[in-house]
Amino acid sequence: MPIPLSVQLYSLRDQMKDGNHLSYIKKLSELGYKGVECAGYYGMTPKAYRTMIEDHGMVVSGIHAGMPEAGKEQELIDQVKTLGLNSFVIPWMSPDEWKTVETIKALAARIEKSIQFFAKHQIAVAYHNHDFELRRVDGKTGLEILVANCPNVKLEIDTYWAANFGAEDPAKVVAQFKSRTPFLHLKDGPLTPGAPMVAVGSGKQNMPAIVKAADPAVCKWLVVELDACAGDMWKAIEDSYHYLVGNGLADGRKPAKAASKQ
């Protein structure tokens, strides 16, 4: 059985602003996505947000949250549990923290401390990479150094950034960390710094190899995310669904209308 397909709503941030979120939630539901990954609550409470998503036949697959500020841990715990989740994702830490082995080890210690705190509340902590975590420091990628010094961290591997513009093989990165990766971000493009992305399946990423490298017993969600798009964003989100579901790489709620082979 293919892994369920979600979408990071950050992709549709421009389309969903100014009160337009409900119409796009309906469109995503009609298209067949099984879940959505949060990008804010559009002025709603987490409870109302979850109800809106579930009323449209989907679930909340995950939430991005920064390193929690001191004194605000309970607020995050309440959000995670209200959304029906058992984890949250740290979406970004400053590139300055990934420059040397020493700075990465210091970051790992901070994240591990947070992991131990949230574990008491049955909540796991995952980290989402960009390209700079895949730069090599003393022969190893920053992500390798983080994991070696933060043994309990989970990962949301962003497979486009994991390629580091062709310097790394994202399928190998996924395979290397598959035992700790419950989420994969799928995006596609020309692997050129600064160039906009394209629909999944229409760029240079080897999506079949990337998805195959995941452990379906561990990876709970494949998540389409496009930070920016060379064409119409909604069409790219739609085409990504058709490609992934139509080629049997992901599980949707509805069959794909068309699927372009990679």
- Give the domain ranges of the chain: 5-246
- pLDDT at position 260 is 45
What would the two tokens of residue 124 be?
């796991």
- pLDDT at position 262 is 44
- pLDDT at position 69 is 82
Order of strands, edge to edge, in the sheet holding 5-8? 59-62, 35-37, 5-8, 221-224, 183-186, 154-158, 124-128, 87-90
Amino acid in the structure at residue 181 = T
Residues 35 and 7: their CA atoms lie apart, in Å, by 7
For the chain, give the number of residues.
262
Cα torsion through 192, 198, 204, 205, rounded to 10? 110
CATH superfamily of 5-246: Divalent-metal-dependent TIM barrel enzymes (3.20.20.150)
What would the two tokens of residue 133 be?
């975590």
The pLDDT profile of the chain, 262 residues, written as one tens digit per residue, is 999 999 999 999 999 999 999 999 999 999 999 999 999 999 999 999 999 999 999 999 999 998 888 889 999 999 999 999 999 999 999 999 999 999 999 999 999 999 999 999 999 999 999 999 999 999 999 999 999 999 999 999 999 999 999 999 999 999 999 999 999 999 999 999 999 999 999 999 999 999 999 999 999 999 999 999 999 999 999 999 999 999 999 999 999 986 544 4
